[in-house]
Amino acid sequence: MKNIITISLFALFLISISHAQEQLSRKQQADLQFNRFEYFNAAGLYLPLAEKKKPDVKVVEKLAACYRMMNDYGQAEKWYSVAIADPKAEALSHYYYAQALQTNQKFDAAKTQYQIYGSKTGKTEQMSFRINSCDSAAFWMKNPVNISIKNMQELNSSAADWGMNDYGRDGFVFTSERSLQKNPKIKDIYKWTGNPWLKLYLANAKGQLKEELTVATDLSLPSKTEYHVGPMVLNAAGDTAYVTIATREQRTALPVEKVVTERLYTRRLELISAVKKDGKWGDLKAFPYNNVKEYSLGNAAISKDGRILYFTSDRPGGQGKTDIWYSEKQADGSWGNPLNCGPEINTPEEENFPTIVTDGSLYYSSKGKIGLGGYDIYLSKGEKSKWGKSLNLKYPLNTTSDDFYLTSDDGRSGYFSSNRPGGLGNDDIYAFNRPDEPVVVAEKPVQPVVPKIPSDRPEKGQLFVIYYDFDRSKIRTDAVPVLDSLSVLMRKYPEIHVALSSHTDSRGNDDYNMILSDKRVKSAIAYLVKKGIASERITGKGYGETRLLNNCNNGVKCTEAKHQLNRRTEAMIVN
């Protein structure tokens, strides 16, 4: 369900489809399936057309899109490469081609395609973010974190398996596309992927499959048709569960859109609660802020005291495409109005799959922060809308594929889900273990001191210093007042020139750090120029890790605060 926010199904037809398909060409049938989001079927129809000697570029682009939506990035890369060779290809095909290349760890080629897309659309600034992600991926993969990862082969199947959560003494509960029937019924096939609908399953304490877990059934919910069910999270007592489902509301309660000659109704995700009594789940209730006519809501996490419920939604008022929100339990037992977790967690892109560990830390996945590609898993400490700096868990826990839904008791070991190469299915469940220290969030970074603008002419050698996040060249918010004060000073005294020197900490490859420091000095210069300072008055150079301010050399273990001192740009008045 990681790539599903809405599920469009058929409401009514303006023509008889069984009769009409006899009159339609292969391309028309493929387009019809594509418009219905039936990518599995559409791909089979598009493929012979795309394999022709001179295929229609629109057919090739749609075939590539089918594979992309089914997370088959090998085939997506192949067909986007064919599409972009045609001058009539859409600019967006370069972007999707770049995504596939990045997922397949072809970073230089991916950066080229991101650049092409940026130049074609004028979105060069947005693409610099993607290019930086390629550089970070290459760096982190060359410098892996000390962590062991194991595929849960006895649990995984050839279908998608993900969302491993604690189920008390009985073991674990997880979400899967598998079917325990040898021949699944046609109605049980999700035509987006060609696989069965997601359901909940139990595993024993050793991570071995036990049985399907029935919570939402035809009898307990107002629909005769099964759709997605899962994931599921339990409260600390294990007697209350929060389950994500594809809504079972009647068609009359669902939004309808017109697609070509058909009207499709949209099934969004919603959250339900269930109470366990005498070993069975019942008393199903809808979360009061579900609104399937306007948005999806699901993939919940619950604080250990049961007072705060976190969830994912594309409801209005968020930071981006999907955000992580929270709701607090009120004195009367009801849930309060949802509030956004804020900009430290959420971005203009997708955030999803929140989980809460024993100490209250939040793990979640994001596509909107510098990472390796796809969904990366992040860790942050805090609660509600107040969170510390998010930490990327890096390679090999994160990869260029989608990595998501991490659960852990102590931050040292646990489970997560990924569609990385080498698995048994689309998504697999993996166990991880850190043999040294649990994952910790970086210490509070050094705060730049904003120099006061002197009333007299400033002296040669006066220094302005700003700091950077690890492996980043972007100007941080705490650096803005420092650069602003420098720009005010330079506007007041037009004869002043400054020399900038940028630096990194010792972690990572020496050559890579030299490149990174060059990016940092260019970023600082660009900020001053944007503030109206002539570029002729500014010089700059990157020094990589050659000018450390402490003993944090290669191989020396240092705190994050000590490393932070070295990640800096110094602006010095030279005349």
Same domain flag for 69 and 208: no
Q: How far apart are CA 552 and CA 32, in angstroms?
A: 61
Residue that terminates a domain, selected from 112, 142, 172: 142
Residue 21 domain flag: no
Q: How far apart are CA 475 and CA 354, in angstroms?
A: 28
Q: How far apart are CA 201 and CA 178, in angstroms?
A: 9
Nearest to 473 by CA among 569, 566, 561: 569
Nearest to 373 by CA among 421, 415, 411: 421
The per-residue pLDDT for 218 is 52
pLDDT above 90 (res 553): no
The CA radius of gyration of the chain, in Å to the nearest whole number, is 26
Same domain flag for 125 and 221: no
pLDDT digits (tens, 9 = 90+) for 339-384: 999 999 999 999 999 999 888 899 999 999 988 999 999 999 999 9
Q: How far apart are CA 474 and CA 476, in angstroms?
A: 6
Residue 448 domain flag: no
CB atoms within 10 A of CB 328: 15
Q: How far apart are CA 245 and CA 273, in angstroms?
A: 11
pLDDT above 60 (res 455): no
The per-residue pLDDT for 377 is 97
pLDDT digits (tens, 9 = 90+) for 282-296: 889 999 999 988 999
- DSSP H/E element including 151: strand 148-151
Instruction: Show the domain range for 424.
Output: 148-433
Q: What is the CATH number of the domain that holds 68?
A: 1.25.40.10
Q: How far apart are CA 481 and CA 575, in angstroms?
A: 22
Same domain flag for 137 and 198: no
**Secondary structure string (H, E, C) spanning 14-32:** CCCHHHHHHHCCHHHHHHH
pTM of structure? 0.73
Average pLDDT over residues 17-21: 42
CA 201 to chain centre: 25
The per-residue pLDDT for 540 is 94
Same domain flag for 299 and 420: yes
Q: How far apart are CA 356 and CA 448, in angstroms?
A: 32
What is the four-CA torsion angle of 424, 232, 307, 319, rounded to 10 degrees? 60
* Strand pairing category for 538-542 and 498-502: parallel
Residue 33 domain flag: no
Same domain flag for 52 and 88: yes
Which neighbouring-strand residues pair with 234? 241
Q: What is the mean pLDDT of the chain?
A: 86
Distance spanning both ends of the chain, measured CA to CA: 61
The per-residue pLDDT for 488 is 87
The contacts found for 118-121 with CB under 8 angstroms, 24 or more apart, are 120/91, 120/94, 121/91
Contact by Cβ (8 Å): 320, 297:
no
The per-residue pLDDT for 562 is 85
Residue 20 domain flag: no
Nearest to 102 by CA among 471, 435, 514, 402: 402
Which neighbouring-strand residues pair with 151? 430
Same domain flag for 108 and 188: no
Ranges 12-26, 76-90, 231-245: which has the least confidence = 12-26
Residue 4 domain flag: no
How far is residue 481 from each of residues 320, 531, 535, 569, measured CA to CA in Å? 27, 12, 20, 14
* Percent of the chain at pLDDT exceeding 90: 55
Same domain flag for 295 and 246: yes
Same domain flag for 514 and 467: yes
Contact by Cβ (8 Å): 261, 329:
no
Residue 11 domain flag: no
Q: What is the CATH number of the domain that holds 254?
A: 2.120.10.30
Average pLDDT over residues 439-443: 46
Same domain flag for 268 and 392: yes
Average pLDDT over residues 95-122: 95
Nearest to 388 by CA among 298, 483, 469: 469
Contact by Cβ (8 Å): 9, 265:
yes
Same domain flag for 136 and 264: no
Kindly write down the DSSP assignment for every residue of 344-379, as one continuous string: TT--SSBEEEEEE-TT--EEEEESSSSSSSSSEEEE
Residue 348 domain flag: yes
Residue that terminates a domain, selected from 142, 173, 207: 142
The per-residue pLDDT for 220 is 52
Residue that terminates a domain, selected from 109, 142, 175: 142
Nearest to 311 by CA among 288, 292, 327, 291: 327
**What confidence category does residue 170 fall into, taking pLDDT thresholds of 50, 70 and 90?**
confident
Kindly write down the DSSP assignment for every residue of 212-267, as one continuous string: EE--S-TTTSS-SS---EEEEEE-TTSSEEEEEEE----GGGS-EEEETTEEEEEE
Q: How many structural domains are present in the chain?
A: 3
Residue 569 domain flag: yes
Nearest to 402 by CA among 384, 385, 416, 412: 416
Same domain flag for 265 and 165: yes
Residue 222, preceding peptide bond in cis (omega within 30° of 0): no
Same domain flag for 356 and 483: no
Q: What is the CATH number of the domain that holds 514?
A: 3.30.1330.60
